[in-house]
Amino acid sequence: MSGATRVLVLNSGSSSVKYQLVDMADGRRLAAGLVERIGEHSGRLVHTPVRGERRERNTAFPDHAAALKAVSEELAADGTGLDSRELAAVGHRVVHGGTRFTEPTLITDEVLDEVRALVPLAPLHNPANVTGIEVARTLRPDLPQVAVFDTAFHATLPEYAARYALERTTADRYAVRRYGFHGTSHQYVSRATAALLCRRPAEVNVIVLHLGNGASASAVAGGVCVETSMGLTPLEGLVMGTRTGDLDPAVILHLHRVGGLSVDEIDDLLNRRSGVLGLCGDNDMREVVRRRAGGDPDAVLAFEVYIHRLRKYLGAYCAVLGRVDAVAFTAGVGENSAAVRAAATTGLEGLGISVDAALNELPTSGPRLISPAYSRVAVAVVPTDEELEIARQTFALVRRSA
C-alpha cells in the first residue's frame, strides 16, 4: 500500500454534496465544503480550507458529476484533488445498509448493486448515495471507495429490540424491522464519552442523545448498541425538527380514511411539516427557546412536547441498560442548548442523573462533563464528528485490505 493517508468523505444528498478532507496521519481536517442546489438553475459551492480563505462558487451544477468535478478542483487548488496520490480512499456515507451491511464495506460492482437493491427501504437517501459513489468511481476508478452505513452500528440490536410486534410473515416479506440511523454519530460519541471518563468503551454503559434537526437516542452497553429510537425509517422515536417521532400508527389510517389524505400527503405531513415546526411554526431550537422565554404559548408547548418525549426515552434507556455510567448530549441542539439539557435532566436524581447548572451554561466547546462530581451518572456534552468517524473506518478498512 502507498503511504497515502488522506481520506475524502462524501455525503451525497439528492441535490447536495457535503464533503471533508481528513488526514488520517493525525486525524486533522484539511478542508470541508458543501455543494447545494445541484440540478437547479443556480447552485452554490462553499469550500472552506483549514488554512486559507473560504471560497464560494455561484453557478449551475447540472448534475452530481459536475458538482464533484468542481469539488475536486477546489481541493486541488489546496493540493489534494481527487487525482492526488496523497488520497488513500474515498469514504461514502450510505444511509441504509439493511441487514446485509453491518460493517464498512469496500465498494465493488456487486456491493453497489446490493446498495441499489436497498432503495425501497430508503427511497429518499440511498439513490443519491449511489449516485455519489458512481460519480466518484468514474473520476478515480483506481482508488478504494468505502461505504459506511448509518444503520451499521445498530446491527447489534437484540432481536427483541429490532422486531416490531407485527405479524412475522408480513414483516419478513417486506423487511420491516427496526434498523436505526445516525449510527456513525452514536458510535463516535459513545466512544468519545468513554474516553472522556478515561475508560475503555467496553467498560461503560452510555445513553447517547443525538439531538439535531433529526434526533435519536441510543443505549450502548460496553460499546455495543442494544437499543435505539429510530426504526424502519428515521421517523420513529424522539420529536424532531420537522418529524413527529412516535405516533399511534392508527393516526395514519385515520388521516387517510377520515381526512382523505393520500399516502404521499401523509408522508410529507409526518416527515416535513410536523415535529417542533408543526407545533409552533419554527424548527430551529434557538428560535423556539427564544420565543418560549418571551412566554409564547405555542413555543412553550412545542418545547414541553419535545422535552417530555426525550425524558421518556432517557428513563426507558436507564431501564434497558440497568446500570448507566454516562448520558451524552450531542448534535446541534444537544451540543448548544443548555435549556434543552437542563429541562431533559431536571429532577432525575432518583436515576442518579444530576447536572451542575453553572457547568451546563458554560459556552465551551469540546467534550466536557456538566454533572457535579457526586453524580452517579456522568452527564456529558460530546460534539459529534460523523465525517471523522467515516474517515477513520474507511482508512482502517483500506489499511486492513492492503
Answer for the pair 264, 252: CB distance below 8 angstroms, yes or no: no
Give least dist CB 333 to ligand AMP, A: 4
In the complex, what is the shortest distance from the CB of residue 340 to ligand AMP, in angstroms, rounded to a whole number?
7
By C-alpha distance, which of 90, 206, 88, 214 is closest to 153?
Answer: 206
Q: What are the b/e assignments for 202-211, b being 16+ CB within 10 Å?
A: eebbbbbbbb
Do 32 and 9 meet the contact criterion of CB atoms below 8 Å apart? no
Nearest-approach distance from CB 151 to ligand AMP, in angstroms:
18
Distances (CA, A) of 323 to 205, 328, 378: 7, 15, 12
Residues in touch with ligand AMP (CB under 6 A): 212-213, 241, 283-286, 289, 331-333, 336-337
How many Å apart are CA 287 and CA 295, to the nearest integer? 12
The DSSP element (H or E) to which 195 belongs, if any, is helix 183-196
Q: Which residue's Cβ lies closest to ligand AMP? A: 332
Retrieve residue 178's grid coordinates.
427496526
Distance CA 185, CA 383 (A): 9
* CB 318 to ligand AMP: min, Å: 24
Active site residue 282: no
Residue matched to cell numbers 445513553: 207
Indicate the residue among 183 and 241 with the shorter CB distance to ligand AMP: 241
Which grid cell sits at 69? 468535478
Instruction: Look up residue 153 and give its DSSP letter.
Output: G
Query: CB 169 → ligand AMP: shortest distance, Å?
Result: 37
Q: Measured over all CA atoms, what is the biggest interatomic distance in the chain, rounded to whole angstroms?
A: 64
Comparison of 31 and 285: residue with beta carbon closer to ligand AMP:
285
Q: How far is the CB of 289 from ligand AMP (least distance, A)?
A: 6
* Nearest CB to ligand AMP, comparing residues 146 and 331: 331
Contact 146, 397 (CB under 8 A): yes
Q: Which of 23, 150, 325, 385 is catalytic?
A: 150
Element housing 17 (H / E) = strand 17-23
Q: In angstroms, what is the minimal distance from the CB of 285 to ligand AMP? A: 3
Q: Of 93, 172, 89, nearest to 125 (Cα)?
A: 93
Closest CA to 16 of 51, 67, 65: 67
Residues, the chain, total? 402
Q: What letter does residue 236 receive in the DSSP assignment?
A: S
Is residue 306 a contact partner of residue 276, using CB atoms and an 8 Å limit?
yes
Measured distance CA(42)–CA(183) in Å, rounded: 33
Handedness of CA 281, 285, 286, 290 (dihedral sign): positive
CA-based nearest residue to 8, from 119, 192, 137: 137
DSSP code of residue 56? E
Least distance (Å) from ligand AMP to the CB of residue 291? 12
Enumerate the active-site residues.
150
